[in-house]
A and B are shown apart, each in its own frame.
Chain A
Amino acid sequence: MSHTVSSGCRRLGASGRSAARFAIATQHFANKIAFSWLVALIGATGCSAGELAVTVVDRLGQGVSEAVVTVAPAVPRAYRQSAATAIMDQRDLAFTPRVLVVAVGTSVEFPNNDTVSHQVYSFSEAKHFQLPLYKGVRHPPITFEHEGLVVLGCNIHDEMVGYIYVTDAPFFGKTDSGGMLNLQELPGGDYRISVWSPIIADPSQTLIHNVHVDQHETTTSRIQLIRELRARPEPRPRRTDWAY
């Protein structure tokens, strides 16, 4: 899955506030679903923003794809809750995408594009829920109000596992097939980068990196993992006659 990040920049008058608007267009199989959200950065002046290019590589220097990267200012600031929406689909007896990263406050829709029913649940601390996904029955989206990792399971198909990574960081995304993620429109300053993936085995404290982003410049950050990657947990694509 590829993310293209485009950005616009707009002055918000003499109040000294600026807003950065990020639009992430996600190519979602046959459907193009565009969603965007608004993050208000308090205290930053002007519209002079930098760029941050993060690369996550394994022990051998190979890019790690589908890793969640979140970037938050080193000095925490207040952000408005996101009103964004996102989609966690069910296809071929698997959560699609396997890993979804969303801002706190995002509402996630759970469609079911399989020919069988699913019963999605999570008992993670960040969100407890139970969601039967029967055919032809639409369910309201689920809002994720708390940051943290939400592990999804299916009560019918025990082998289905999915992840929703809920973050309060203003900048985030997933690495591409080369392990790269480009974030734009970052106000200059000190930031803290965190990396997460179900296949990364490194202890979490080693996955936090501090970086300084200069205005008008592209800052690069290369994060090399110290432990071998875990096997990818995704199940094999199943033929439909195997389940019902």
Chain B
Amino acid sequence: MEARRYAACLMAILWAGFATADDQLNVVGAFDVRWVHSAGELSYLDGGLGTLRFDPDHEGLRLGRAFMASRLRLSDIVTLHTVVDAYGDHDRNPVDLSEFWVDVRPFPTNAIRWRARVGAFHMPVSLENRGAGWSDVYSITPSALNTWLGEEFRTIGAELEVRWLGASSGYLGDVALIAAAYAWNDPAGALIADRGFAITDRPSTLFGGLGRPPITFYHEMDRKPGYYAGLTWRRHDRLEIRALRYDNRADPGASTAAGGGAWRTRFSSFGARLEPTTRWTFIAQYIDGDTAIGAESLGYDQFLMRYHAAFGLASLEWGRERLTARFDSFGTHQLRGFFGPPSNETAHAWTAAWTHDFDDHWQLVTEWIRVLSRFPPRSLFAQPSSLPETQTQISARYRFQFGGRAWGLIGGLQNN
């Protein structure tokens, strides 16, 4: 058995070697080790009510994230994308798949370009997570809004994009319409109803869970597919505006034999990213929606919660440095339902981050986050309902690429 596994590994490595030779396989990855200092309450990841990833019981030297994002070219227009993650935090699978999708992108023959994605992937909402493997390029931890999208959502289905290539035919930039149908997203909403928003760089993986006891997110309970539809306008990569409507169309009365219920979750999302000069980036995003569980016939006993989150970010980049400041504001409001005190959360947070690139591989990121939140369920644990939490992280990140840098040099020499 072991021998067979090693043989399979060897085959995979050999195949990867051949595939990278003509750039058929491209892999980027990174791992980061952090020193963490925390002043706050126990993180929800460890069974507490804290909104940050680490807490005073989980400080010191920690693995932040190790990931590999690969792109395998199957043909000129078809590529297979895979993101594999390890967070080193006792998740069910120490190494797990986060995204896995096939991208089909025919060459445009006129100003309309079609594109399809089929598989499991993040919906196109976050304007912060633009790095390989959905990593945040402005700081370590994305905003509360995008943290939540990474935690509870993955499009497991198909997405179609039709883009008017204005930039290639005029000067107004591109306009894209996006629509997706998906399944296996019925538990989405469970986490925000239970805990409110959080600010972590710990998205869920496809087969893992979050919290104690862990909540798992990718199940189908009512055999009803969900959808999202969105609009993107991009002007010369200097301004990007996105709007999206999400509705998982879950039947809130449906549940599984295992006891999990379906959460009907819907939201509207808006975002804009402005890059007026080569140095400055400004991002603002807003989300507003609700989630419900329990059959409609329960009336006022059905649990129904509204939520909203917004943030504004400014980032300045020069040479090997990047400075980012962000203000988050978020809250939940329970409209109906009966369990416990109303889990209304009102919170805001400040984030400051400094990124320094030593070279193409090594990066040092220092991040400070302070969250001030009011969350009445804390009273059940004999805590004041309003609490500040602070987390400081210094992360050393090593990034690697194959089918890239080394081969790029050879390719460059060949081309000249």
Stretch at the interface among A14-22, A49-57, A131-139: A131-139
* Least distance between A136 CB and chain B CB atoms (Å): 5
**A158 vs chain B, min Cβ distance (A):** 6
- Hey, which chain B residues are within 8 Å of A45, CB to CB? none
Contact of B137 among A31, A132, A236, A242 (CB under 8 A): A242
Given contacts A115-B408, A135-B403, A136-B410, contact A242 B415 (CB under 8 A): no
Tell me whether A135 and B28 are in contact (CB under 8 A).
no
Which stretch, B39-47, B103-111, B260-268, touches the partner chain A?
B103-111
**Is B22 on the interface with A (CB-CB < 8 A)?**
yes
* A123 lies within 8 A of B110 (CB): yes
Query: Does A75 have its Cβ within 8 Å of any Cβ on chain B?
Result: no
User: Are B401 and A240 in contact (CB-based, < 8 A)?
Assistant: yes
In the complex, chain A residues whose CB is within 8 Å of the CB of B220: none
Per the CB 8 Å criterion, the residue count for chain B at the interface is 52
A137 touches B416 (CB 8 A): no
Q: Point out the residues of chain B lying under 8 angstroms from A116, CB to CB.
A: 26, 404, 408
* A151 with B73: CB separation less than 8 A: no
B241 close to A (CB within 8 Å): no
Q: Does A161 contact B (CB under 8 A)?
A: yes
Cβ of A68 to closest chain B Cβ, rounded Å? 16
Determine whether the beta carbon of B167 is less than 8 Å from that of A128: no
Asked whether A151 and B407 contact (CB < 8 A) given A135-B22, A240-B360, A244-B28, the answer is no
CA separation between A239 and B109, bound complex, in Å? Answer: 30
Q: Which of B12-47 contact A (CB under 8 A)?
A: 21-24, 26-28, 30
> When chains A and B are docked, how far (Å) is the Cα of A241 from the Cα of B110?
31
Docked CA distance A131–B107 (Å): 9
Is A194 interfacial (CB-CB < 8 Å)?
no
Contact B73 A117 (CB under 8 A): yes
User: Which residues of A from 68 to 126 have beta carbons under 8 Å from B?
Assistant: 111-117, 119, 121-123
Closest 6 CB pairs of A and B: A111-B415, A115-B408, A159-B237, A135-B23, A135-B411, A134-B23
Known: A151-B168, A241-B131. A235 touches B237 (CB 8 A): yes
How far does the alpha carbon of A232 sit from the alpha carbon of B416 in the complex, in Å? 28
B23 nearest CB across to chain A (Å): 4
Interface residues as binary, B94-133 with A (CB distance below 8 Å gives 1, 0 otherwise): 0000000000010111110100000000000000001110
Is B92 among interface residues, defined by CB-CB distance under 8 A? Answer: no
CB of B163 closer than 8 Å to a CB of A = yes
- Which of B21, B109, B130, B236: most chain A Cβ within 10 A? B236
> In the bound complex, how far is the Cα of B403 from the Cα of A244, in angstroms?
10
- Which of A122, A136, A151 is packed against the most chain B CB atoms within 10 Å? A136
CB-CB contacts below 8 Å: A148-186 with B: 151-153, 155-156, 158-159, 161
CB <8 Å contact, A233 and B236: yes
Q: Which residues of B contact A136 (CB under 8 A)?
A: 21-23, 407, 410-411, 414
Cα A111 to Cα B415 in complex, Å, equals: 5
B107 touches A155 (CB 8 A): yes
Q: For the complex, is A220 an interface residue (Cβ under 8 Å from B)?
A: no
Q: Which residues of A contact B130 (CB under 8 A)?
A: 242
- Chain B residues with Cβ below 8 Å from A123 are 108-111, 168-169
Contact B28 A241 (CB under 8 A): yes
Chain B contacts for A12, CB-based, 8 A? none
A153: chain B residues within 8 A (beta carbon): 108, 165, 167-168
> Nearest chain-B residue to A139 (Cβ)?
B415
CB distance from B230 to the nearest CB of A (A): 16
Number of interface residues of A (CB under 8 A): 42
Residues of A whose CB lies within 8 Å of any CB of B are 31, 111-117, 119, 121-123, 128, 130, 132, 134-138, 151-153, 155-156, 158-159, 161, 198, 230-231, 233-237, 239-244
Q: What chain B residues lie within 8 Å of A134 (beta carbons)?
A: 22-24, 73
A129 to chain B, nearest CB (A): 9
Which residues does chain B contribute within 8 Å of A241, judged by CB atoms?
28, 30, 131-132, 137, 399, 401
Contacts of B30 in A (CB 8 A): 241
**B28 near A119 (CB under 8 angstroms)?**
no
Query: CA separation between A173 and B109, bound complex, in Å?
Result: 29
CA distance in complex: A242, B322 (Å): 14
Q: Within the complex, which residue of A122, A161, A243 is in contact with B132, where a contact is CB–CB below 8 Å?
A: A243
**A113 contacts B167, CB within 8 Å?**
no
Task: State whether the Cβ of B234 lies closer than 8 Å to any Cβ in chain A.
Answer: yes
B408 touches A135 (CB 8 A): yes
Q: Which residues of A contact B251 (CB under 8 A)?
A: none
In the complex where A198-B171, A241-B132 touch, is A130 in contact with B407 (Cβ < 8 A)? no
Known: A115-B408, A116-B404, A151-B169. A159 touches B416 (CB 8 A): no
Closest to A94 in B: B237
Which of the residues B28, B105, B132, B137 comes within 8 Å of A155, measured between beta carbons?
B105
User: Would you call B236 and A159 a contact (CB within 8 A)?
Assistant: yes
Given contacts A134-B73, A235-B236, A243-B132, A112 and B171 within 8 Å (CB-CB): no
What A residues does B71 contact at CB under 8 A?
244
Chain B's nearest CB lies how many Å from the CB of A149?
A: 10
Cβ of B178 to closest chain A Cβ, rounded Å: 13
CB < 8 Å: which of A115, A119, A122, A156 contacts B404? A115
- Whether B278 pairs with A237 at a CB distance below 8 angstroms is yes
